[in-house]
Amino acid sequence: MSSDDTLGVRLRPEIVAVPAYKQGRPAPADGFKLSSNENPFPPLPSVVEAVAATLRDLNRYPNAGGADLRERLAERHGVGVGQVHLGSGSVALLSQLISAAAGVGDEVVYSWRSFEAYPGLVTVAGATSVQVPNRPDGSHDLDAMAAAITDRTRVVIVCTPNNPTGTIVTTADFEAFMERVPSDLLVLLDEAYYEFVTDDAAVDGIPLLSRYPNLVVLRTFSKAYGLAALRIGYAVGPQAVLDAARSAAIPLSVTDASRVAALASIDAEDELMERVARLAMRRDRLRDALLEQGWAVPEAQGNFVWLATGEQTVEANDAFFDAGLTVRAFPPEGIRISVGEEESVDKLLQVAGDLVRNLPNGHPGKRLG
């Protein structure tokens, strides 16, 4: 079938125009994949065992209500079971919540650059993206975001730490922002990297839920808990909003394997959070070394760092790739590098050091003075 055969099919033009989701390139042999913010540690034996035990029942549909995991999460977060909703990754939850609140003619406000899935999800819902530029330091411009809210706005997404720039929203700034947001406008607080945060000023959404009836917090097991392959995340928020998300969900999409892996991961929390602490220290060491080399690295509170390589993004990406490092390039803005294996750090710094020396003076990626 030639591609011309499909020309007669009437598709939504805005869907046809969505660029294909670009997954991080795989690592070259002997190299490191630092392009998808994955956890470099392999799964714990207890998690593998729990998943293996589900294989006997592959002929059955999953227990998608997930009462056991929801109860566990509700208990730890001090909320009711109805205020927890599971999804096949928090991207699925974002999709459901956006679709539940915004349709044709409605607007969704978010900072940009931020998580690359947001624009596509908004378009699929039929709604319109309103992208508010990040501040020069890579952080959300919450004043401008509040000012971008109109009668048509149905969802605002706040991403902290922000993927890909690594910056956080502080509690004080978030509270001031919420004062300006109408109480019937849904605010999604995307905390995919919550566990990596070490800055005490960072907002923590779940304790704020009792104050804001329009707030939903999103968390995932993909990053800190190292379950990216299994696709499991959760939302915490008002039951009525989560019920609407459930109505917008594809039924039975949370598998037993992902659910039991999440439970086993909560059981092994201490060990997993020790890994996270090591990754956060590795991140800080990496950022300090990059600053020392002369890079202007924004605050890094996720498991990644951002280099504003600007017009040099493609060549910098190639230089990392040639050294066996796959990173994520967003030309012409910059490069996001995940904090991976310990052995990747020196290799990374070697390439980054050569690159920064060759950047012209006044380049946005370069530190002043």
Ligand X SMILES: *Cc1c(COP(=O)(O)O)cnc(C)c1O
Give contact residues for ligand X (rule: CB under 6 A). 37, 89-91, 115, 159, 163, 190, 192, 220, 222-223, 228, 233
Work out how close the CB of 30 gets to ligand X at its nearest, in angstroms, rounded to a whole number: 26
Give every CB contact of residue 326 below 8 A, 6+ residues apart in sequence: 24, 25, 26, 27, 28, 31, 32, 33, 34, 35, 320
Looking at beta carbons only, is 111 or 344 nearer to ligand X? 111
Beta bridge partners of 155: 108, 186
Work out how close the CB of 369 gets to ligand X at its nearest, in angstroms, rounded to a whole number: 33
Work out how close the CB of 302 gets to ligand X at its nearest, in angstroms, rounded to a whole number: 8
Looking at beta carbons only, is 90 or 309 nearer to ligand X? 90
Beta bridge partners of 358: none
Cα–Cα distances in angstroms (integers) from residue 129 to residues 8, 15, 101, 164, in the given order: 28, 14, 13, 18
Q: What's the half-sphere exposure (Cβ side, CA atoms, 13 Å) at 42? A: 3
Contact 34, 327 (CB under 8 A): yes
Contact 94, 220 (CB under 8 A): no
- Burial of 220 from C-beta contacts in 10 A (0-12 / 13-18 / 19+): buried
Looking at beta carbons only, is 159 or 297 nearer to ligand X? 159
Work out how close the CB of 21 gets to ligand X at its nearest, in angstroms, rounded to a whole number: 12
Work out how close the CB of 268 gets to ligand X at its nearest, in angstroms, rounded to a whole number: 19
DSSP class of 86 = E
Looking at beta carbons only, is 89 or 238 nearer to ligand X? 89
Looking at beta carbons only, is 50 or 217 nearer to ligand X? 217
Work out how close the CB of 101 gets to ligand X at its nearest, in angstroms, rounded to a whole number: 17
Looking at beta carbons only, is 86 or 319 nearer to ligand X? 86
Work out how close the CB of 363 gets to ligand X at its nearest, in angstroms, rounded to a whole number: 27
Rg of the chain (C-alpha set): 21
Looking at beta carbons only, is 113 or 366 nearer to ligand X? 113
DSSP class of 223 = S
State the DSSP string of 149-193: --TTEEEEEEESSPTTT----BHHHHHHHHHHS-TTSEEEEE-TT
Largest CA distance in the chain: 64
Interior angle at CA 101, CA 100 and CA 107, nearest 5: 135
Looking at beta carbons only, is 90 or 111 nearer to ligand X? 90
Looking at beta carbons only, is 139 or 220 nearer to ligand X? 220
Work out how close the CB of 58 gets to ligand X at its nearest, in angstroms, rounded to a whole number: 22
Contact 88, 254 (CB under 8 A): yes
- Enumerate helices (H) and strands (E) in the chain, giving the number of each: 12, 12
Contact 238, 210 (CB under 8 A): no
Work out how close the CB of 1 gets to ligand X at its nearest, in angstroms, rounded to a whole number: 32
Q: Which residue is nearest to ligand X (CB)?
A: 89
